[in-house]
Structure 1
Amino acid sequence: MIRLDNVSKQHGHQILFIDASMGLQKGEKAGLVGPNGAGKSTLFRMIVGEEKPDDGQVAIDTGMTIGYFNQDVGEMSGQSAVAAVMDGVGPVSALAAEMAQLEAAMVDPEQADEMDAIIERYGEVQGRFQELDGYALEARAREVLAGLSFSQERMDGDVGLLSGGWKMRVALARILLMRPDGMLLDEPSNHLDLESLIWLEAFLKDYDGALLMTSHDREFMNRIVGKIVEIDGGSLTTYSGNYDFYDQQRALNEKHRQAQFERQQAMLAKEIKFIERFKARASHAAQVQSRVKKLDKIERVEPPRRRQAVQFEFRSPPRSGEDVANFRDVHKSYGSHAIYTGLDFQVRRKERWCILGANGAGKSTLLKLIAGDAKPDQGSVSLGSSVKMGYFAQHSMDLLDGDDTIFETLDKAFPQAGQPALRTLAGCFGFSGDDIEKTCRVLSGGEKARLVMALMLFDPPNFLVLDEPTNHLDMATKEMLVAALADFEGTMLFVSHDRHFLAALSNRVLELTPEGVHQFTGGYTEYVERTGQEAPGLHPG
């Protein structure tokens, strides 16, 4: 269906692929993995023909349709979200647009003379529209948008007024509605809440075409893919199994390779020692010669390429009092929409609360009330004694000074820390060598998120309030963050759509539903076991 045969590709001085090959059959679902900049997006672009390989070939079955979702959604405005989604389906949406024009022409007195021709054309267009099941298309478009958490109002509103994250969902819905023979999805899980993510998971499991996708969400990847294609050092390696299997297999391969390398190094050292010892003796000349020849012929084992994984270690935060935060009879509304009516909620020391709730249930509002970014309409929100809060919000990244470098940003925040300590801190969050001279203006979303984390965690707070902290992070940084937070001695309150993060770090669940607020002791895993659902209002399919 999709094949890459001995493909080589270079961007400037950077070699992305050398004689790389892979294949994807109908019905196969594969995850594409590799470090940032390894060439994942380039591979997608070569498959859809936006880029050509320098050497080798990319073969697609004749007549195969491919839907490609990437993070660059382009300009969208002047139509409703539903119309924008239907637009992606090609002939059907063109026919729908022509039908609308012909319907307008039928009631236009100035076109009365051409009425017979208009009606005849309308009959042809409508017939073709019916053949393509056009009337069902709008219902399907609405179904897909509802799955991605769109309200009716948002579906019918101007797509140009939506935020970047919601436009991403429209672009994704377009591909899903197409149901092409093959789908290439570059980070489809990025801007989704938990409910949308679980819906998309079910949709993709049910899809019978070929799927190749990247995702920083380990759980999402595990549940969908049956094989992993890894880009590493210019080559493509295929592993059968999900992401966890690939992770174990890769570690095992690395171990074997290291052992092989060490055995060969020991053997080479022994041979070289013999040659050095006896090269001056005429009686051993033949033996020395034969060993020199043998060494020349040996194919050298390369040591495994180790992925740089830096661990961040928390310094112990100062101890807070037992009462960390208190909500007493809190009321909060936005316009006529009541978010809380009389919320009572208490956070105690060492509790790790994850907050679950559908879009608009008030998850971020709760964090804003605690951080002081929002005020209750009635009631009180107070912090306990000796509480030092660290707050990570999506807008934290907008507060970085674009002209400052990474190092200057850290140095301004911690002038007493000294250069070695700040370089180590930057290294833990993936900024090594010259990276720390980059200005904040040129940083990607993931880099900004890592820098904000570094600022927040260096002088450790004892109460962490985190709003979607993993949104822009790659898998390696997420693992590092989960490992670091697992050892954190303070208290946590957080919102996340990453189920691996939720399961690893929570020991309490606060569920916000239209029927009221529910508190569960036990973490996210226990919540799923007890309620039979992974998110409020979603029952297992």
Structure 2
Amino acid sequence: MIRFENVSKQNSHRILFCEASAALNRGEKIGLVGPNGAGKTTLFRMIVGDEAPDDGQVSIEKLVTIGYFNQDVGEMSGRSAVAEVMDGAGPVSSVAAELAELEAAMCDPDRDDMDAVIERYGEVQARFEELGGYELEGRAREVLAGLSFSQEMMDGDVGKLSGGWKMRVALARILLMRPDAMLLDEPSNHLDIESLIWLESFLKNYDGALLMTSHDREFMNRIVNKIIEIDGGTLNTYSGDYAFYERQRAQNEKQQQAQFDRQQAMLAKEIKFIERFKARASHAAQVQSRVKKLDKIERFEPPKRRQTVVFDFPPAPRSGEDVAVLRNVRKSYGSRTIYDGFDLTIRRKERWCVMGVNGAGKSTLLKLIAGATDPDQGTVTVGASVKMGYFSQHAMDLLDGEKTIFETLDGYFPQANQGSLRALAGCFGFSGDDVEKKCRVLSGGEKARLVMAIMLFNPPNFLVLDEPTNHLDMDTKEMLIKALAGYEGTMLFVSHDRHFLAELSNRVLELTPEGVHQYTGGYTEYVESTGQEAPGIHS
């Protein structure tokens, strides 16, 4: 359906692709992977014609429809979310628009071309029916409900929604369109776990071709059956899911390293012989023959190692046994009661993950414990010797936009030497000149990494984390999981990343309309014992 043939592309001074080739065939579901800045979005843009290759060609079969979702959703306002989604449903949306115009024209008694209007209305109505237009609104509402929209949000002005919800509207447009090929650039960003699971099921049942990027490995693993990796300007194809790709890549690197090492040992031996005997006339012929042999040998390259940084936690000071205690807590917002008579004790070394649908009170619980909001009734007590670190999306807004990354770190840790601050920045993905970037130009992911670096440099013994993996790429997420796995303190966190939940939790707090349930054992045990991956969703 879509082919890349010997594509080369340069972006200012960086070579993104060099004679790269790959294909997306009918029915394939492909994960597109590569480090940040490798050219994933450029590849999407070349398929939809927003950018052209410098050399080679991108060919698309005739009459193939393509739906492209990216993070730049553009302006949306003045219409309901349902109308906005239906507007993107391909040819049927323009037929619906004409139908609406003709309906308005038929209501105008002063028109003298009413017969023509009625005749045209009949034609357009038949076409609308043929395209499934009358089921369209129902399907649009189904998709929006799957992405966690309430009826009220579906019918409200889309302009009043936050950026994250507008992203969901833009995604819903592509899903409703059901094109022959879907290009999804980070569709899992901004989604809660319930929406993620719904989207997973939708994409599994979608019979078109799919090319997508995602920082959520579990989501990727369950959907794709092939991986295209952008690596140093080439496109490498692996037949399998993301886990298979990781294993295969590691194996290939191992083989390449062994090949390189063997050749290096052989070259060293030959060079040693040449050096030893080059001055002896009796060995001149042998030396010449070996020099010629070395000149002809095709040299193996060592594997290109992805830079993976490891962050080692300095040990956190020990806290008392009871880290946080909530007794008889009541909390309401207007007429909505979130908690009533709620009790919870968090003990040292426990790692609680909090599960619950949107509005269940996950972030409210974290705010109550962090002291960012007060209970209407009851008590929240933080234990003796507890030093808390609270990560929330709000923390990212508190960065001083005029300071650079390095100035920000230096401001928090004036006693630390430059080397250790640069090493800290490097661990969280800011290497070299990156530390001179001003905070106002940072992306959401970069801000999250900076706030995380500040919090973990001098670690607290109680981490309260609200969606810490939002915006983080797979490598940073993996580094964070490894770092937190060895963390000696206590944790309370909310995350929609199932890999993060499974690796780090040893307790689950489930918030449901029927009440609060506590589970001993982590997220994996929770899934096994309840048969569901999130409250109200059955696997």
SS of the equivalent of 1:280 reads coil
Q: CA deviation at 1:121?
A: 2.1
CA offsets per residue over residues 20-51 of structure 1, 9 Å max, x none? 00011111111000000000001111111111
| Equivalent in the alignment of 1:428 | 427
Map 1:238-277 → 2, pairs under 5 A? 238-277=237-276
In structure 1, give the amino acid aligned to 2:27.
Answer: G
Q: Which residue of 1 aligns with 2:26?
A: 26
Q: Deviations over 1:176-200 (max 9, x none)?
A: 0011000110000011000000000
Structure 1 CA distance, aligned partners of 2:96 and 2:335?
Answer: 37
Are 2:10 and 1:2 aligned?
A: no
The alpha-carbon deviation at position 340 of structure 1 amounts to 1.2
Q: Does 2:446 align with 1:451?
A: no
CA distance in 2, matches of 1:115, 1:376: 65
- In 1, Cα distance between the equivalents of 2:103 and 2:426? 64
Name the structure 2 match of 1:293: 292
Cα distance between partner residues in 1 of 2:100 and 2:237: 49
Aligned-partner Cα distance in 1 for 2:45–2:114: 47
Matched, 1:502 2:501: yes
Equivalent position of 2:208 in the other structure:
209
Partner of 2:115: 116
Offset at residue 106 of structure 1 (A): 2.4
For 1:58, the equivalent position in structure 2 comes to 58
Give the secondary structure class of the aligned counterpart of 2:110.
helix
The answer for unaligned runs of 5 or more in structure 2 is none
| Per-residue Cα deviation, 1:377-426 (whole angstroms, up to 9, x for no partner) | 11121211111100000111111111111111011101111112211111
Q: Report the CA distance between 1:108 and its aligned residue.
A: 2.8
The letter of the residue matching 1:13 is H
Return the offset for 1:118. 2.4
CA positional deviation for 1:102: 2.4
Give 1:372 deviation, angstroms: 1.3
Which residue in 1 is equivalent to 2:282?
283
SS at match of 1:241: coil
- Partner secondary structure for residue 338 of structure 2: strand
SS of the residue aligned with 2:496? coil
Within-5 A mapping of 1:434-473:
434-473=433-472
What is the TM-score normalised by the length of structure 2?
0.99
Q: Which residue number in structure 1 is paired with residue 177 of structure 2?
A: 178
TM-score normalised by the chain length of structure 1 = 0.98
Distance of 2:406 and 2:417 partners within structure 1: 11
Counterpart Cα distance in 2 of 1:254 and 1:161: 50
- Aligned residue number for residue 515 of structure 2: 516
What is the match of residue 78 of structure 2? 78
1:311-348 deviation line (CA, Å, top 9, x unaligned): 11111111111111111111111111111122111111
SS in 1 for 2:385: coil
Q: How does 1:518-533 map to 2 (within 5 A)?
A: 518-533=517-532
The alignment partner of 2:459 has SS state of: coil
Deviation at 1:282, TM superposition (A): 1.3
Letter paired with 1:364? S
Report deviation, 1:114.
3.3
| SS in structure 1 at match of 2:345 | strand
- Residue type at the aligned position of 1:398: D
Match for 1:391: what amino acid? Y
The residue matched to 1:109 in structure 2 has which SS?
Answer: coil
Q: Which amino acid aligns with 2:195?
A: S
Distance, in Å, in 2 between the alignment partners of 1:412 and 1:242 is: 44
Corresponding letter in the other structure for 1:429: F
What letter corresponds to residue 37 of structure 1 in structure 2? G
1:392 aligns to 2:376 (yes or no): no
- Residue 168 of structure 2: aligned partner: 169
Q: Structure 1 vs Structure 2: percent identity of aligned residues? A: 80
Distance (Å, rounded) in 1 between the aligned partners of 2:212 and 2:153: 27
> How many residue pairs are counted as aligned between the two chains?
539
